[in-house]
Amino acid sequence: MSNHDGYDDGYDEYDDDGYSLYDDDDVVYDRVPRTSRRGSPIAVTIVALFAVVGILVAGVLVWATRQMNPSGEQGPKVASIEIPAGSSFDDVADILEKEKVISSAFVMGWYAKFNDVKPVKAGNYVDFHTNSSMADAVEVLDAGPVPPQTKVLTIIPGTWLEDAFVAINKAFPAISVDQLSLTLLSGSVKSKYHGDDPKASWEGFLLPETYQFEETATAQDILQRLVDEFDSTLTELGYDNATATTGHSAKDLVIIASMIERETGDPEDERPKMARVIFNRLDAGTPTGIDATILYGLGRKGNEGGLTKTELETPGPYNSRLTPGLPPTAISLPSEQSLDAAIHPAEGDWIYYVLKTQSPRAHVFTASYKEFQKAKEECQKNGFC
């Protein structure tokens, strides 16, 4: 029986041998060194270096990928780029970077080496766009320049019809501005969207783009081509269903697009927002208040010095500060982007916009008169308004 009440220790059999299970006085222990949780300093340094190199390589790859495939959509078409005879590919890449077709000539050089890009032919190229991927830029280069006998005509978006006539005359000196005007008024140029009266204003109904023509092209050939391109663009955008889509006729949307073209800033989302501001004001019966229409009515192409009090207070069909609704005609030649915005306005309750920065040119959009006043004061303070 154990001397511990209530327990049978079960160890008596070991006591017969003359030692206790816990008697370890004669046992000798060797101290085992504690294993360090820290690695070798050299190993840690190597791992850290690999990590840093990995991060740097990943960063470079991300950066290079963005240079090859920039974010956002392609920008506007570049009017014309001349590749001189004897240019190396590095020279070509430098030219494209300078014209903002690509963002890095250095990366373009490496892209060409790894993608077996063909030799570039010297000549005039008219199909480049700003903010292009390198694949798109190479595709234009591979297509080659325009034939030497071809005339290149560039109509800049936002310019007036009379400016387009001047540009045509510059490309084709034998065709006068008066001849171009008379050709439109004669009724020989046909348009699906302009209407039956050839004497009605053609402002806004020619698509501003870069075109190629044979040297023998006539005024009729040129104008019909510009009008055909315009009609085709409108049909692709759905202008044949304009009234059902927006409640406004195709002609009204062309006028709105021309207003957007003269007012828009640089961000891609501004055109649809400006379209919505105009729609919201038209729906409310409020004058649109777009100074570009007043300038057009005054025959002024720029706003240097601003509008005078007398100019702002003089009634007229183009004075959108005083007259509700749209002006009687378009006020410029709108681009495809502005035509798209006019029939596909953004969703929003904005009724004001104010210039907030000049570079890039960008606006504040708001439905609040208080916010509008604050933005206007800031604009005036910065000398933008």
Say how far apart CA 164 and CA 152 lie, in whole Å: 13
* The predicted structure's pLDDT at residue 14: 38
* The predicted structure's pLDDT at residue 20: 42
Could you tell me which residue, 57 or 170, shows the higher pLDDT? 170
Say how far apart CA 120 and CA 142 lie, in whole Å: 7
DSSP 239: G
Q: What is the mean pLDDT of residues 269-294?
A: 96
Give the closest residue to 270 by CA, choosing from 174, 352, 193, 341. Answer: 341
User: Domain spans of the chain?
Assistant: 247-381
Could you tell me which residue, 344 or 134, shows the higher pLDDT? 344
* The predicted structure's pLDDT at residue 306: 83
197-229 exposure pattern, b = at least 16 Cβ within 10 A, e = fewer: ebeeebbbbbbbbbbebeeebebbebbbbbbbb
DSSP 212: E
Q: What is the mean pLDDT of residues 8-23?
A: 42
Comparing 21-30, 95-104, 307-316, the range with the smallest average pLDDT is 21-30
Radius of gyration for the chain, computed over Cα atoms and rounded to the nearest angstrom: 36
Copy the structure tokens of residue 354: 């104010």
Please determine, for residue 8, whether its predicted confidence score (pLDDT) is greater than 70.
no
Write down the pTM of the prediction. 0.72
Q: What is the mean pLDDT of residues 125-142?
A: 92
Amino acid identity of 111? Y
Say how far apart CA 273 and CA 365 lie, in whole Å: 8
* The predicted structure's pLDDT at residue 3: 43
Q: Residue 33 — pLDDT band, cuts 50, 70, 90?
A: low
Give tens-digit pLDDT for 315-353.
999 999 999 999 999 999 999 999 999 999 999 999 999
